[in-house]
Chain A
Amino acid sequence: MDLSVIDPISLFVGLVAAATPLLYAAIGELVVEKSGVLNLGVEGMMIVGAVCGFATAVTTGSPLLGFVVGAMGGAVLALVFGGMTQYLLSNQVATGLALTLFGLGVAALVGQPFTGVKSPRVAVVHLPVLSDIPVIGRLVFSYDLVIYLGIALVAAVWFFLNRTRPGLVLRAVGENHDAAHSLGYPVIRIRMMAIAFGGACAGLGGAYLSLVRVPQWTEGMTAGAGWIALAIVVFAAWKPWRVLLGAWLFGGVTILQLNLQASGFLSWLQSVGIPLQAQYLSMTPYLVTIIVLVVISADRTRASVNAPASLGKSFTQTG
């Protein structure tokens, strides 16, 4: 085994990019859940964002427009969920799952003419002096704009939830919708806005996949990223900065296990008497996420308090 071929800087740069689609989808879902709504349709919204973004960028030649339409696509799908769960009071878990099924189908239909088409390139912003600084330049200044905006989004969501009045109201709605309602807050309207925001973020995450990460449109290309995003919200205990941590952790372990494989780690293990299949290394991102969650949840005094109390419950305006 030759671990010296693993370059920690490249590893970090790689994980930041790998985590970005997860980060967008997860931070959006966090806001939705903070308002007391559980939308399990993240995968469906992501893939609709991916196809809308890709189709728009290809037809118009503008990746920027692609991102905008990708976000809109995710938001529109989310509003279907919102209408169903907020006005027709359908069950959130089942509606979210149905939304995934529906979204995957819609995306495949819309995307048919775009299979095998190449998208316009998204330019990486090169900061002339900064990105040339050794180490720091690559670690901090070598990304595309969408990545920086993703981190800014986390900061903005944190600020909104913890430092602004509307953020407080949104959390109040998520904690106890009946109380919020009796205080005169429009519970349903607030939740609809949160749901649309969540959909737009998931759509952006999907568009990032189809326009930057891959970049290409193929059916099923999100390959379960929406589910991981859902898990990251839980992992983060509904705290914005921990979403960033969770996404980076998951992305990081994924990249690390690929690096270990490429550097001959499995051969080394075999030479010391542990013949391990590659499948076991592929499990590590999931196992590490569980283990870290267990470690940080074990503090019984603080954990789980943060889960919005009304999560997943329908609100009816009676009387």
Chain B
Amino acid sequence: MFRLEPRAVTPVWITAVTPLLAVLATMIAGGILFALLGKDPFETIRVIFVAPLGDPYSRTEMLIKAAPLVLIALGLSFGFRAGIWNIGAEGQYVMGALAGGAVGLAFWNVEGAWLLPLMALAGMAGGCLWALIPAFLKVRFNANEILVSLMLVYVATLFLSAMVSGPLRDPAGFNFPQSRLLHESARLPIVLEGTRVHVGVLVALIAVVVAQIVLTRHLFGFNVRLLGQAPRAAAFAGVNAKRLTVVLLGLSGALAGLAGIFEVTGPIGQLQPSLPVGYGFTAIIVAFLGRLNPVGILLAGMVMALTYIGGETAQFSLGIPAAAISVFQGLLLFFLLAVDLLTRYRVVPAKRSGV
């Protein structure tokens, strides 16, 4: 019936229109779902999709929710381009939060402008080192990084739990498993008065720009793409695959760790066992939804954040169960991923003789 023809060049209007098409399809499918649940479909869609955009507080919260997703996804996207499968960003996020948080607790109540940068560095180092474990095991022992990075998520989560119920426990907190609250010097400054928008959001935005430049204008970006698309050609071109593997895993770990310490020094303010909430996994979706492109990742992160925030409001104002929200998110992702087809291929009627 139909046949797909790869596009040499994707017209700009297609790139712009296809996501809207996906959103429209999601609204229809989601509307049917909500109607089946006995809710007003139009009101529900409005609350999830439109209302947060119109509310100033929700808009700032979208930035806060998107920031860690975008930071992690940016790091992952470089690895994914090169065919390196770090699916353990969640663990690197935890270890970054833990390392940076531990530094903050070590200097508890010590004032100084140097403290936050030091914590951020420690956070990046923590995430980076955690990611270097699968990197090292891969290049030295050929162990698959999917398995190692995934298993290390569980190890990191348990380690965090052991730390906050042991050495890092709040001495005045009745032995509950959480750390002290970080003091003022160890908290990220707020950028917009009266909101929770912190410096980490700005850093995430800067990271998008930097990533875009590196990817398109720098030899490093070229090598990454080459390694992913044509490993043999990369070898001829003098790309050291092992070194690049280590660098890319380390980079994605560092960014995940940075996201972790920003979350601790930003909106949370302490170490607690419930830090891992799945950002590391959601970021993988964000990375691909953004087509591994920094600007695309930013947009994808904002869309994910929108559905989370709208979904929460829909829960308490309309009584939509959380499960229906995740079905709705799943639908949105399916449609967004499906319309990608239209940007990459032209659908043309099949020639009888073809195939």
A–B contact at 8 Å CB threshold (below) = yes
Complex Cα distance, B305 from A257, in Å, reads 39
**B14 on the A face (CB < 8 A):** no
Q: Which of B339-355 contact A (CB under 8 A)?
A: 340-341, 344-345, 354-355
Closest to A104 in B: B326
Query: Which stretch of A131-139, A140-148, A294-302 is in the interface?
Result: A294-302
B323 & A108 in contact (Cβ 8 Å cutoff): yes
**B161 on the A face (CB < 8 A):** yes
Closest to A296 in B: B143
**A234 on the B face (CB < 8 A):** yes
Query: Which stretch of A1-9, A63-71, A163-171, A285-293 is in the interface?
Result: A285-293
A91 & B337 in contact (Cβ 8 Å cutoff): yes
**A156 on the B face (CB < 8 A):** no
Partner among A80, A105, A282 whose Cβ is within 8 Å of the Cβ of B324: A105
Complex Cα distance, B323 from A103, in Å, reads 10
Complex Cα distance, B333 from A108, in Å, reads 19
Q: Which residue, A94, A287, A303, has most C-beta atoms of chain B within 10 A?
A: A94
Complex Cα distance, B284 from A318, in Å, reads 29
Query: Which stretch of B102-110, B150-158, B179-187, B208-216 is in the interface?
Result: B150-158
Q: Which of B296-355 contact A (CB under 8 A)?
A: 321-331, 333-334, 337-338, 340-341, 344-345, 354-355
Partner among B87, B154, B340 whose Cβ is within 8 Å of the Cβ of A283: B154
B285 & A98 in contact (Cβ 8 Å cutoff): yes
Complex Cα distance, B158 from A282, in Å, reads 8
Query: Chain A's nearest CB lies how many Å from the CB of B72?
Result: 13
Query: Chain A's nearest CB lies how many Å from the CB of B109?
Result: 27
Complex Cα distance, B327 from A303, in Å, reads 39
Complex Cα distance, B337 from A290, in Å, reads 33
Query: Chain A's nearest CB lies how many Å from the CB of B53?
Result: 22
A: interface residue count bin: 35 or more
Say whether, besides A97-B285, A98-B285, A294 and B143 are in contact (CB < 8 Å).
yes
Query: Chain A's nearest CB lies how many Å from the CB of B20?
Result: 17
B137 & A290 in contact (Cβ 8 Å cutoff): yes
Partner among B4, B6, B158, B288 whose Cβ is within 8 Å of the Cβ of A93: B288
**A277 on the B face (CB < 8 A):** yes
Tell me which residues across on chain A come within 8 A of B341, comparing CB atoms.
88-90
Complex Cα distance, B65 from A202, in Å, reads 32
Tell me which residues across on chain A come within 8 A of B287, comparing CB atoms.
94
Complex Cα distance, B112 from A308, in Å, reads 54
Say whether, besides A277-B166, A283-B159, A231 and B323 are in contact (CB < 8 Å).
no
Query: Chain A's nearest CB lies how many Å from the CB of B250?
Result: 18
Complex Cα distance, B344 from A60, in Å, reads 47
Partner among B143, B322, B345 whose Cβ is within 8 Å of the Cβ of A297: B143
A94 & B159 in contact (Cβ 8 Å cutoff): no
Closest to B136 in A: A294
A290 & B281 in contact (Cβ 8 Å cutoff): no
Complex Cα distance, B148 from A289, in Å, reads 9
**A95 on the B face (CB < 8 A):** yes
Q: Which of A106-136 contact B (CB under 8 A)?
A: 106-109, 112
Tell me which residues across on chain B come within 8 A of A293, comparing CB atoms.
143-144, 147-148
Query: Chain A's nearest CB lies how many Å from the CB of B293?
Result: 13
Say whether, besides A286-B152, A304-B144, A99 and B165 are in contact (CB < 8 Å).
no
Tell me which residues across on chain A come within 8 A of B150, comparing CB atoms.
227, 230-231
Query: Chain B's nearest CB lies how many Å from the CB of A248?
Result: 16
Say whether, besides A93-B288, A230-B150, A234-B144, A102 and B330 are in contact (CB < 8 Å).
yes
**A260 on the B face (CB < 8 A):** no
Complex Cα distance, B354 from A52, in Å, reads 42
Q: Mark A207-224, 1 if CB is under 8 A from B, else 0.
A: 000000000000100001
**B48 on the A face (CB < 8 A):** no
Besides A84-B337, A90-B340, A103-B330, 15 other A-B contacts (C-beta < 8 A): A91-B337, A95-B333, A101-B285, A105-B328, A109-B323, A112-B321, A224-B154, A277-B162, A279-B161, A290-B151, A293-B148, A294-B137, A298-B143, A304-B144, A318-B4
Which 10 pairs between the two chains have the least Cβ-Cβ distance? Answer: A102-B330, A108-B323, A105-B326, A94-B288, A105-B327, A98-B333, A90-B337, A279-B162, A286-B151, A234-B147
Q: List 9 A-B contacts (CB under 8 A).
A: A40-B87, A97-B285, A109-B324, A219-B323, A235-B147, A287-B155, A290-B152, A293-B148, A316-B345
Chain B residues within CB distance 8 Å of chain A = 3-6, 37, 80, 87, 137, 141-144, 146-148, 150-152, 154-155, 158-159, 161-162, 165-166, 281, 284-285, 287-289, 321-331, 333-334, 337-338, 340-341, 344-345, 354-355
Chain A residues within CB distance 8 Å of chain B = 40, 80, 84, 88-91, 93-95, 97-99, 101-109, 112, 219, 224, 227, 230-231, 234-235, 277, 279-280, 282-283, 286-287, 289-290, 293-294, 297-298, 300, 303-304, 307, 316-319
